[in-house]
Structure 1
């Protein structure tokens, strides 16, 4: 579906309104993401540094990307731990075939 025909949803970032193309049924997810981004942008803006909105958006995107990558790293580490525990359990438990 082309963006020209897609429905739009309105979001607000740092007090500015934007119309964003959004698939039907995805509006709540878009609004949630926009609220998260808006809070991140307000946090950067509130630090008192005089930055333009574009620079604030870039800094917020970098911070959010860092959070995402940290979370993915933690998830991968957790999966490795679970795999190792499963391997230890399989070695420690008797074989279900009676061996």
Structure 2
């Protein structure tokens, strides 16, 4: 079982403690920063009032971004796999090249 710890985060000036495994902490903090920026941008635009409404608009915007990315034919998981395979090929080629010297 992983060692889950509470991570203190701040979203729109509000403090939250979120349970998170240590190896996912950086990813969580990146997500929090992205969400905080989206919510602050919506708040600062002045067209939406209230934290719940701002959160709902941010959620809708993020869902739209995700679905747009998916429908655009971009498969992030697939791309990561391709990059890993390419890296492996590069590593193999470099190792073979180093044997020649």
Question: TM class by shorter-chain length?
Answer: 0.5 to 0.7
Which residue does 2:58 correspond to in 1?
Answer: 60
Q: Of the two structures, which has the highest relative contact order with CA contacts closer than 8 Å and spacing of 6 or more?
A: 1
Which residue does 1:45 correspond to in 2?
Answer: 43
Which residue does 1:35 correspond to in 2?
Answer: 33
Long gaps (5+) in structure 2:
75-101
RMSD: 2.2
TM-score (norm 2): 0.66
Which residue does 2:92 correspond to in 1?
Answer: none
Number of aligned residue pairs: give it. 75
Query: Whole-Å Cα distance in 1 between the matches of residues 35 and 48 of structure 2?
Result: 19
The structure that has the greater radius of gyration is 1
Deviation at 1:49, TM superposition (A): 2.8
TM-score (norm 1): 0.68
